[in-house]
Amino acid sequence: MGKIVYPPGVENHGGFLRIWFMYQGKRVREKLSIPDTPKNRKSAGELRSSVAFAIKTGTFNYAAQFPSSSNLMKFGEERNDITVKDLAEKWISLKEMDICNNTMGRYQSALRNTIPMIGASTLITSVNQERMLSLRKELLTGVQNPKRGHKSVVTGRSVATVNFYMGVLYGMLCFAKSNGYVKENPMEGMAPMRRSKVEPDPLTRDEFVRLIDACANRQVKNFWSLAVYTGLRHGELCALSWEDIDLKAGTLTVRRNHTLKKEFTLPKTDAGTDRVIALIDAAKDILRDQAEMTRLGKQYEIDVLLREYRKKEVHKCTFVFNPSLHAKNGRSGHHYAVGSVNQSWEAAMRRAGLRYRKAYQSRHTYACWSLTAGANPNFIASQMGHSNAQMVYQVYGKWMADSDSDQIAILNQKLSSFVPSMPHAKAV
């Protein structure tokens, strides 16, 4: 068998053909991903000759000729063939290692809602700032989409939601710029929209009593009472086990959270990991009552996802709140889910005839009641799992101002004995 002769600039690489040529003073190679056959060798030689001619005449477009080449970044070329949809899929698959599954679900939802509005098949290089500003307006005000000959109105989203969606797209476009798909991020310089400060809307004492009286059963009453008395997040309450509670010491340790993705994770923030809650007497009474129902229940081994990608650990849990106690069909699990407890709050609010509030107001109620009672903001922050008291000052400043008169009374009581006596004026 004679020696195989390759056309100039064509070579075998692992059984496949590739070509090499000089570009901007550098030798570069491009894989063709075609088998090494006589016919393919001839085609590769013709391609190499056309590339060399285009370079010599100044008409060569690297990105157009080799759109997926890893050499594009070397020469500052754009990968200008990738669509918005393909870029989003590439970015979100790589982002998975940086964020938890719950956050991943929110990112995917943001892309699912925005990519069709930009245009899934639109080339990323054709997306400019005007298009992104228009998208933001459409998200905020709502759009009309033709469907089966009719126009269906998509309701506008809140400023908070729009800002989150745009933040996700900004991250995706930063990725595009860093990896050579675009030269500039079209969202550079676009500031988030301003949003009105949302004031906490806590329950009054009377409303709290009415809410608890309207709860469906004893366990649900205890759940929402403990939520208000401790300020725990609802996912933390769903994941709470008797192994986390020391009634003798009057403490509750937050070790895990249950998410909308129905997974157990570590608490929301690093500051919330294994934080110790100091229980007030009312909270201890609630837990003693709940212990009669679930303290001697079955212990389960559950997987808790750690922050390191794909790492987990096993916790042994006897859940404090167990929905199987009141299940009518026998299909309930051994712990509550966040979605189901929110439904129980809404049902109790309706039965009690109270003005509607989201279930998260149970947490605001704890903070506002505590501040009104004169509790230290740093203590409240540690109880609620914040890294410092800054959020307490920002969100609950109004309730801190309401207790100013109490602070004056405390100062009068505590400092009076330290105030030096002042000499009386001499009578003339």
Active site residues: 233, 268, 363, 386, 396
| Residue 175 scores a pLDDT above 60 | yes
Look at residue 290 and tell me if it is in a domain.
Answer: yes
Same domain? 362 vs 219: yes
Structure tokens at 79: 């990968």
Range with the poorest average pLDDT among 152-166, 254-268, 357-371, 410-424: 410-424
Closest residue by Cα to residue 230 from 411, 343, 121, 383: 383
Point out which residues pair with 314 in neighbouring strands: 303
What are the distances in angstroms from CA 109 to CA 24, 117, 236? 43, 13, 24
- Top pLDDT among 248 and 1 is at 248
Look at residue 122 and tell me if it is in a domain.
Answer: yes
**Mean pLDDT of all residues belonging to the chain:** 86
Q: Burial letters for 368-404: b for 16+ Cβ neighbours within 10 Å, e otherwise? A: bbbbeeeeebeebbbbbbbeebeebeebbeebbeebe
Q: Burial letters for 71-101: b for 16+ Cβ neighbours within 10 Å, e otherwise? A: ebeeeebbbbebbbbebbebbbeebeeeebe
Pairing between strand 300-305 and 264-265?
Answer: parallel
pLDDT tens digits, 200-233: 899 999 999 999 999 989 999 999 999 999 999 9
| Residue 152 scores a pLDDT above 90 | no
Please compute the mean of the pLDDT values over residues 92-100 and round it to a whole number: 88
Share of the chain above pLDDT 70, in %: 86
Please compute the mean of the pLDDT values over residues 361-385 and round it to a whole number: 89
Please compute the mean of the pLDDT values over residues 14-23 and round it to a whole number: 92
Look at residue 1 and tell me if it is in a domain.
Answer: no
Q: Report the pLDDT value the prediction gives residue 307, as an integer from 0 to 100.
A: 83
Look at residue 357 and tell me if it is in a domain.
Answer: yes
Look at residue 416 and tell me if it is in a domain.
Answer: no
Contacts of 189 (CB under 8 A, 6+ apart): 129
Same domain? 238 vs 151: no
Same domain? 397 vs 293: yes
Q: How far apart are CA 342 and CA 356, in angstroms?
A: 12
Contacts of 389 (CB under 8 A, 6+ apart): 377, 378, 380, 381
Closest residue by Cα to residue 344 from 321, 370, 364, 368: 321
- Considering only CA atoms, give the Rg of the chain: 32
What is the span of the domain harbouring residue 168? 84-178
The pLDDT confidence band at residue 149, using thresholds 50, 70 and 90, is very low
Question: Residue 229 sits in a domain of what CATH number?
Answer: 1.10.443.10
Q: Burial letters for 203-237: b for 16+ Cβ neighbours within 10 Å, e otherwise? A: beeebbebbbebbeeebbbbbbbbbbbbbbbbbbb
Same domain? 28 vs 145: no
pLDDT tens digits, 257-297: 999 889 999 987 655 457 899 999 999 999 999 999 999 99
Same domain? 148 vs 243: no
Same domain? 164 vs 305: no
Please compute the mean of the pLDDT values over residues 356-380 and round it to a whole number: 90
Q: Report the pLDDT value the prediction gives residue 150, as an integer from 0 to 100.
A: 41
Same domain? 393 vs 287: yes
Please compute the mean of the pLDDT values over residues 336-342 and round it to a whole number: 90
pLDDT tens digits, 47-86: 999 999 999 998 888 877 887 787 877 776 655 568 999 9
Q: Evaluate whether 374 touches 380 at the Cβ level (below 8 Å).
A: no
Q: How far apart are CA 243 and CA 394, in angstroms?
A: 34
Q: How far apart are CA 279 and CA 287, in angstroms?
A: 10
| Residue 142 scores a pLDDT above 60 | yes
Same domain? 252 vs 132: no
Structure tokens at 374: 């004169």
Closest residue by Cα to residue 62 from 95, 93, 26, 110: 26
pLDDT tens digits, 28-49: 999 998 999 999 999 999 999 9
Same domain? 221 vs 322: yes
Please compute the mean of the pLDDT values over residues 162-167 and round it to a whole number: 96
